[in-house]
Amino acid sequence: MIYLDNAATSFPKPLRVYDEMDRCMRTYCANPGRGGHAMSIASGKAVSEAREKIAAFFNIDNSLRLAFTKNATEAINIAIKGVIKPGDHVITTCMEHNAVIRPLKTLEKDGIISLSIVEGDNFGRIDIERIIDYINPRTRLIVSTLSSNVNGIIFPVKEMGRIARTRGILFLVDASQGAGAEEIDVDEMNIDLLAFPGHKGLLGPQGTGGIYIREGINITPIMQGGTGSISDYLYQPEMMPDLIESGTLNTPGIIGLAYGVDFINKTGLNNIKVFKHSLIKRLMEGMEEIKGIVQYSLKDIDNNSGIAAMNFKGVDSSEVSYILDKEFGIATRAGLHCAPLAHKTLGTTGQGVVRFSVGCFNTVDEIDYTLKALRKISSRFN
Ligand SMILES: Cc1ncc(COP(=O)(O)O)c(C=O)c1O
């Protein structure tokens, strides 16, 4: 199978990810921080080293400000529900995933917050001035994706961070489609809260993710429970990461995630980026020459995290994705990608789009084969 669905979850993973998860499970995977015996200490040490490695990847000074979660959705919910107070106003964008939109719309429906959604042009690009227009004295939080999961456009997160910081507004970035594709520096970008999955561009396994919470930000946890720390205290510990990490951690997953990040560090984030850009450029340029194809990703490849979104004029995206899978062995994702507002913006609500998302293990030959498949499909519809 040619796997072009890396925006959903990356596949394959670096070999060391499989090996180290296997070694962890077989040799030392006791409960981290829950016992004084050698195996529990080994597990705790491995988690702590993983935390440091991942924190350093985002230029987080104090790794204890990073808590592990099971995915990006959990991290986003922790961040939003943890900082919001009744009467707050929140600003977000028209390109957000349901992981952001649903918690916000629910809070709005329940009368807890008011919400402004910044509109974009027909590629989803937003005008940063519109954010400033929406800010009012009650604005407590700005939430933005780093990159759209529908067409890959990159958002001006650094500028948004500056706007938020200078006005004392919290800034939450959903790095689901940016982590591992773009350089993320929480300091330089003025990011207060960073939510990320471990299983996409960071090349870790499913069931992993994390939330960074800047020092000084008070979060009310959405869950309470055992942390292995101050067990005689009947309330949730206030120190990070225990405040957020209730219950047994996904130790093998976290180890795998750390080795995914290790692979990126060793390969070089920029080398991965340049390589993925070359594949996406080849795919998009090839598609330009195929009859009946409409594209929704920007040609400006530097502003793309690795996604080519397309349709055949008048053909349902699910049908094309189905043919690619069944007849050509190519994995893509069709439909609305859990981002209905993004599709409204792109004008593809009824049809959806076929999303090709590349990863660092795809090859030029795979892209050429995909283009060949698209040419054959085109001859059927045109
Ligand atoms: C932009 C964006 N945000 C959030 C998510 C949710 O990520 P997870 O499945 O890790 O919760 C996704 C997943 O595709 C995404 O693309």
Q: Which atom of ligand 1 is nearest to the CA of 76?
A: 4
Q: What does the mean pLDDT of the chain come to?
A: 97
Burial classification of residue 67, based on how many CB atoms lie within 10 Å of its CB (0-12 exposed, 13-18 middle, 19 or more buried)? buried
For 247, phi then psi, to 5°, come to 90, 170
Q: How many residues does the chain have?
A: 382
Query: What is the average pLDDT across 365-379?
Result: 98
**Pocket mutation for ligand 1, best pick of 68, 69, 73 (most atoms within 8 Å of C-beta):** 73
Residues 163-185, buried b or exposed e (16+ Cβ, 10 A)?
bbeeeebbbbbbbbbbbbbbebe
Residues with CB under 6 A from ligand 1: 8, 71-73, 97, 99, 145, 149, 174, 176-177, 197, 209
- Measured in Å, residue 200 CA sits from the centre of ligand 1 at 9
E-assigned strands of the chain?
2-3, 66-69, 88-93, 113-118, 139-145, 170-174, 193-197, 209-213, 293-295, 307-312, 330-331, 354-357
* H-type alpha helices, 250-339: 251-267, 269-288, 317-328
Does residue 152 contact residue 23 with C-beta atoms inside 8 Å? no
Alpha carbons 97 and 80: distance in angstroms, whole number: 14
**Pocket mutation for ligand 1, best pick of 6, 177, 206 (most atoms within 8 Å of C-beta):** 177
For 233-254, the pLDDT digits (tens) are 999 999 999 999 999 999 999 9
**What's residue 343's pLDDT?**
94
Instruction: Tell me which residue has its CA closest to atom 16 in ligand 1.
Output: 149
- Measured in Å, residue 27 CA sits from the centre of ligand 1 at 32
Domains parsed from the chain with CATH numbers: 16-266 (3.40.640.10), 268-381 (3.90.1150.10)
With CA atoms as reference, report the closest residue to 196 among 185, 206, 211, 207: 211
- Measured in Å, residue 99 CA sits from the centre of ligand 1 at 6
Residue 34 pLDDT > 90: no
Query: What is the average pLDDT across 277-293?
Result: 98
- Measured in Å, residue 112 CA sits from the centre of ligand 1 at 24
Decide the pairing of beta strands 2-3 and 88-93.
unpaired
Q: Give residue 157's identity as a one-letter amino acid code.
A: V
* DSSP conformational letter for 290: S
Alpha carbons 279 and 306: distance in angstroms, whole number: 8
Query: What is the average pLDDT across 270-275?
Result: 97
**What's residue 33's pLDDT?**
84
Does residue 242 contact residue 227 with C-beta atoms inside 8 Å? yes
Q: Give residue 217's identity as a one-letter amino acid code.
A: I
With CA atoms as reference, report the closest residue to 1 among 348, 329, 280, 278: 329
Instruction: Tell me which residue has its CA closest to atom 15 in ligand 1.
Output: 176
- Measured in Å, residue 74 CA sits from the centre of ligand 1 at 10
pTM for the whole thing? 0.97
- Measured in Å, residue 293 CA sits from the centre of ligand 1 at 27
For 184-225, the pLDDT digits (tens) are 999 999 999 999 999 999 999 999 999 999 999 999 999 999
**Pocket mutation for ligand 1, best pick of 338, 341, 353 (most atoms within 8 Å of C-beta):** 338
- Measured in Å, residue 175 CA sits from the centre of ligand 1 at 9
Rounded alpha-carbon distances, angstroms, from residue 62 to 65, 78, 220, 239: 6, 19, 20, 13
For 308-361, the pLDDT digits (tens) are 999 999 999 999 999 999 999 999 999 999 999 999 999 999 999 999 999 999
